[in-house]
Chain A
Amino acid sequence: MRFEPYENVPLYISTPEGIGEFIFAEEASIAVSQPLSVTRQVDDNLFQIVSYVENNTAEDSLIYEEKTFVSEERFLALIGPSGGPPQPLATSIRKIPKDTEIIFQSGQSLFFDEDVYPDGNQYIVSLYAKSGDWSLTRGQAQSGHFNPLFNYVSDGPIVGTLDVSFYPSTGNLPYFFNITGLLNPAQFPPVNEERLDGHIGPFEFTHAYLNSFEFSISPNSLIQANASFQIYGTLKEDQAFLDDYFNGNLYKQQSIPHGSNSKIIGATPLGIEHPISFSYSIQVDRTSRFEAPTSNNYNNKELGITPTRVTKKAVTINMSIQGESLDPDMLQDGFNGRIANLKAQLYDLSYENFGSDEIFNQENHNGFLTEFSCHGPITSQALSVTSQGNLIGAIETTQTLK
């Protein structure tokens, strides 16, 4: 057994055409879930014996005659209500394992002689007793109970989530937002519903769709972002992918946005001169379309695994900012909200350029990296103070993109 260390489990996100980028992830996880339910049927674990039948004759008698059981001797039982007609085992049962016990009203037990998989045609089963010299009366033979393994059915598609906590970097930042269709609202078509593919370690996933992206800025810390994707389709193992990883661009020096130089623009009209924290999030409302198969293609299980379309509906940006105060006039601005226009400009540490060295050229001296904005109404504002702190003003604003 071998556990793969963190550095051997890269995260890679790409377009279906294979153009992609390694993501400098602090943490990544894939989880898959499926809504399942079990549907119990009337009397599905009630075991009733109509009669005992011979295993080498075609004719089956339905007249119950008491049988004296012999230890470990197998025999056949026709099952159903007393006197018939026989009734097959319930189809809510997936499997009755060999040696499953059937307990009767008399306190004695019979056992299944082999694994049984009911499909609606099992009128006769093979049983045995573990002890001999006893029998069941006609009434007692109607009272058996057993505990089988039941069937579960899918109530909906298998949906996975990929949650990533990562450092936006020079290389992946613009690219990440280009492929997720978030950075450039002017792109055409305006709603990019294209899927994403990728790898987490040796596991390849397809049909990933961005659900949310968020990050926050504090004065003296690296900027770390979180993204969450919906995932459909199959997960495949591809060990060969790891061979390319160590030659990938993730192992080159990266330039990472930092709170020291990053700027928050547009807070002054809101009464905040000195922002102390800032957060940005974008949420995408998505719905998947799965088509019901016909008789011609119902065996194609891919139809229930890969959606025909994953729509992108409401796209909402939320920004919040905290600072030393807030503008009290905002409280009196009346209905429909006062409009805020906040921008976050992300910068790296803006080190000096150490010359022509290729490594140092990549390292945190790029300055401006990218900008996020939110232009919309203020939805909430708060003033708070604690005994261990200062007066803090907080503002939240929202913008609907689609």
Chain B
Amino acid sequence: MDISIIENANLPVAASFGGTASFSSLVDSVVLNDSYSQRSLKGINSLNMSLDLSFNQLTDEETRKTISFLQKNFYYTPQEYHIYGVFTNKRIEPFNYTPFYPYKPNQFFCLSYAHHMESKNVNNVTASFTCAYPSILNNNEPPASGYGSISSNFSTFLFRGPAISYDSGATLSLKKDNYIYLNGGYKNFKLNSDQNPSTISLEQSTARLDINSSIYNFSQANSCRSQHSTLRNSIFIENPNECSYYPYNPKTESGELDFRMFDFRPTEGVKISHSPKYKTSSVTDFYQKFNKYGYNHNLSNLSLSFNGRSDLEAKRILFFLESHLGYKKFCFHFHHLYRGNEANTGGSPHHKKVSTFYCPEWTHTFTYHNNHNISATFIECV
């Protein structure tokens, strides 16, 4: 049963607050006996995005337009048989849609929707959208060791002199509130204003970065790095260059890590279920023996919430998770009670200073202005 049709090219209303974006990866996983595992995506469209949206408090006219737009892909038309041997008009075509912040315009299918007539001239429409072509080739945000390939190194007098040299890496795109990091450490500087890339060059010898820091005292040029380059790209996120992360391999007192750190803290109230692996002898039903199984028998599966996050922090979390494509490893500091085990203190062999995880699925809810909730599943891996 179709609604009385009104033709319109675009979705006529914006979604209400409370919309949810869900992400999940299709992963092939190889698990070895000692819980060592390797994963890979099944294909280039294997990181899926779906939206659950509500269009609330619509008038009858707005509802007609909305439902007409959503149902128009399913109108019956006589089949036309093409000379190439296919029916030409059976395909459901995706439509262009710009989801809520921080997502970029994309193409979506809408395969289910519902109309709730709440009261006279008051209607609610809910719809589920599926991203049509979420190609991971659109993501250009490498792991820690690969930042050098898309980022730029440059040197600058941070306080009293001009920028004096500029590496020939990617073209920088430094905007207000971006961070740049000094090479070799964790000292960083926040930009007070948009920085024209040309000012960070040899030609513009009078330019210098407009930065905000009062705690450092440098008198000579220092090498810096920024990942804010024009090469950066995202599958789903608009303006990923607003996101600053530590651009080098994370450092420990015993060396560097190979994976990036997920430096966001989960919301309090985390439940950690422990299900260590073991084997049960099955000699009899009433006299059993249990044996430890494997070297890494207590890997965690964490369900974490990141609630009440600002617009920018939500974007940083979402882009971080997207850039790991649902299968790549990253490091994560959990609660202080779960840190600091060394391999020689009786823990599992894999237990180093910091554990590694991958995140196969996460959801994001835009609760209200500057208030985002993200929940994610972190699976510990070695």
* B-binding residues in A (CB < 8 A): 37-44, 46, 48, 50-51, 53, 55-60, 62-64, 76, 78, 80-88, 90-92, 113-114, 119-121, 123-126, 142, 151, 153-157, 191, 287-296, 298, 301, 303-304, 308-309, 311, 313-314, 402
Of B37-45, B261-269, B276-284, the stretch lying at the interface with chain A is B261-269
Q: Is the CB of B104 within 8 A of A295?
A: yes
Q: Is the CB of B119 within 8 A of A84?
A: no
Query: Smallest distance from the beta carbon of A149 to chain B beta carbons, Å?
Result: 15
Contact of A83 among B183, B267, B353 (CB under 8 A): B353
Q: Whose C-beta in chain A lies nearest to the C-beta of B237?
A: A295
Contact of B265 among A38, A59, A81, A90 (CB under 8 A): A90
Contacts of B336 in A (CB 8 A): 43, 46, 48, 81, 142
Q: Is the CB of B333 within 8 A of A119?
A: no
Query: Smallest distance from the beta carbon of B178 to chain A beta carbons, Å?
Result: 10
Task: Give Cα A395–Cα B18 distance, bound, in whole angstroms.
Answer: 44
Contact of A39 among B102, B186, B254, B308 (CB under 8 A): B308
What 7 additional pairs, Cβ within 8 angstroms, besides A85-B353, A91-B264, A298-B311?
Answer: A39-B267, A43-B335, A83-B252, A119-B312, A291-B13, A292-B17, A293-B101
A-B contact pairs, 6 of them (CB 8 A): A53-B185, A83-B254, A85-B331, A124-B215, A287-B57, A311-B122
Known: A62-B252, A121-B190. A55 touches B216 (CB 8 A): yes
Query: Smallest distance from the beta carbon of A86 to chain B beta carbons, Å?
Result: 5
Q: Whose C-beta in chain A lies nearest to the C-beta of B53?
A: A292
Contact of B101 among A84, A124, A292 (CB under 8 A): A292
Contacts of A64 in B (CB 8 A): 253
Contact of A313 among B101, B119, B246, B264 (CB under 8 A): B119
Contacts of A124 in B (CB 8 A): 186-188, 215
Q: Is the CB of B253 within 8 A of A63?
A: yes
Known: A59-B185, A60-B187. A82 touches B340 (CB 8 A): yes
Task: Give Cα A86–Cα B250 distance, bound, in whole angstroms.
Answer: 8
Q: Is the CB of B16 within 8 A of A290?
A: yes
Contacts of B187 in A (CB 8 A): 53, 58, 60, 124
Q: Does B309 contact A (CB under 8 A)?
A: yes
Contacts of A59 in B (CB 8 A): 184-185
Contact of A155 among B102, B219, B366, B371 (CB under 8 A): B371
Known: A56-B216, A155-B367. A402 touches B186 (CB 8 A): no
Task: Give Cα A85–Cα B14 distance, bound, in whole angstroms.
Answer: 43
Q: Which of B266, B307, B308 has the most CB of A within 10 A?
A: B308
Tally chain B residues at the interface, Cβ within 8 Å: 81
Contacts of B334 in A (CB 8 A): 42
SS of A interface (majority)? loop
Query: Smallest distance from the beta carbon of A73 to chain B beta carbons, Å?
Result: 14
Task: Give Cα A293–Cα B336 distance, bound, in whole angstroms.
Answer: 37
Task: Give Cα A119–Cα B261 distance, bound, in whole angstroms.
Answer: 16
Task: Give Cα A104–Cα B97 distance, bound, in whole angstroms.
Answer: 53
Q: Does B238 contact A (CB under 8 A)?
A: yes
Query: Smallest distance from the beta carbon of A350 to chain B beta carbons, Å?
Result: 40
Task: Give Cα A323–Cα B218 distance, bound, in whole angstroms.
Answer: 89
Q: Does B344 contact A (CB under 8 A)?
A: no
Contact of A295 among B215, B238, B246, B339 (CB under 8 A): B238
Q: Is the CB of A289 within 8 A of B57?
A: yes
Known: A42-B265, A55-B216, A59-B184. A313 touches B254 (CB 8 A): no
Contact of B264 among A120, A151, A291 (CB under 8 A): A120
Contact of B188 among A121, A291, A301 (CB under 8 A): A121
Q: Is the CB of B99 within 8 A of A289?
A: no
Q: Does B370 contact A (CB under 8 A)?
A: yes
Known: A55-B216, A83-B353, A298-B101. A291 touches B368 (CB 8 A): no
Q: Does B7 contact A (CB under 8 A)?
A: no
Task: Give Cα A314–Cα B354 distance, bound, in whole angstroms.
Answer: 57
Query: Smallest distance from the beta carbon of A160 to chain B beta carbons, Å?
Result: 17
Contact of B119 among A41, A90, A155, A311 (CB under 8 A): A311
Q: Is the CB of A81 within 8 A of B339?
A: yes
Query: Smallest distance from the beta carbon of B45 to chain A beta carbons, Å?
Result: 23
Task: Give Cα A51–Cα B121 distance, bound, in whole angstroms.
Answer: 64
Query: Smallest distance from the beta carbon of B334 to chain A beta carbons, Å?
Result: 7
Q: Is the CB of A153 within 8 A of B308?
A: yes
Q: Whose C-beta in chain A lies nearest to the C-beta of B103?
A: A295
Known: A55-B217, A56-B216, A311-B122. A84 touches B371 (CB 8 A): no
Task: Give Cα A46–Cα B335 distance, bound, in whole angstroms.
Answer: 10
